[in-house]
Amino acid sequence: MKIVYNSFNGRYSDSPRAIHEAALARGDAHEHVWLVDPAFTGEFPAGTVTTPIYTSEAVAALESADLIVSNSHLEMDWRKRPPATYVQTWHGTPLKRIHADVLWGPEGLLEHLSLDVDRWDALLSPNGYSTTTFRQAFRWSGEILETGYPRNDVLVSPQAGEIRASVRRQLGIEDGRTAVLYTPTWRDDAFWAGSLDDEPLELDVDRFLAELGDDHVLLLRLHYKLTGRLRPRSHPGVRDVSSVADVSHLYLAADALVTDYSSTMFDFAVTGKPLVFFAYDLAKYRDELRGFYFDLSADPPGPLVATTEDLVRALRDIDTVTSRHAGAYARFRQRFCHLDDGRATERFLQRFLPSE
Residue 260 has, within 13 A of its CA and on its CB side, a CA count of: 25
**CB burial of residue 287 (10 Å; 0-12, 13-18, 19+):** exposed
Please compute Rg for the chain using Cα positions: 20
Spell out the domains of the chain, with CATH numbers in brackets: 2-152+341-352 (3.40.50.11820), 157-336 (3.40.50.12580)
Phi/psi of residue 68, each to 5°? Answer: -115, 130
Contact between 247 and 221 under an 8 Å Cβ cutoff? The reply is: yes
Residue 73 has, within 13 A of its CA and on its CB side, a CA count of: 17
Parts of the chain with a pLDDT under 50: 195-196
One-letter identity of residue 115: L
How confident is the model at residue 288, as a pLDDT?
87
Q: Count of H helices and E strands in the chain?
A: 14, 13
SS3 state of residue 3: strand
How confident is the model at residue 193, as a pLDDT?
58
Query: What whole-number distance in Å separates Cα of residue 44 and Cα of residue 286?
Result: 37
**CB burial of residue 342 (10 Å; 0-12, 13-18, 19+):** middle
Contacts of residue 35, Cβ cutoff 8 Å, sequence gap at least 6: 4, 5, 6, 9, 10, 50, 51, 52, 53, 58, 61
Query: What whole-number distance in Å separates Cα of residue 35 and Cα of residue 76?
Result: 12
**Pick from 142, 4, 21, 138: nearest CA to 78:** 4
How confident is the model at residue 48, as a pLDDT?
97
Query: What whole-number distance in Å separates Cα of residue 249 and Cα of residue 247?
Result: 5
How confident is the model at residue 233, as a pLDDT?
74
Q: Are strands 178-183 and 256-259 parallel, antiparallel or unpaired?
A: parallel
pTM for the predicted model, two decimal places: 0.93
Query: What whole-number distance in Å separates Cα of residue 316 and Cα of residue 310?
Result: 10
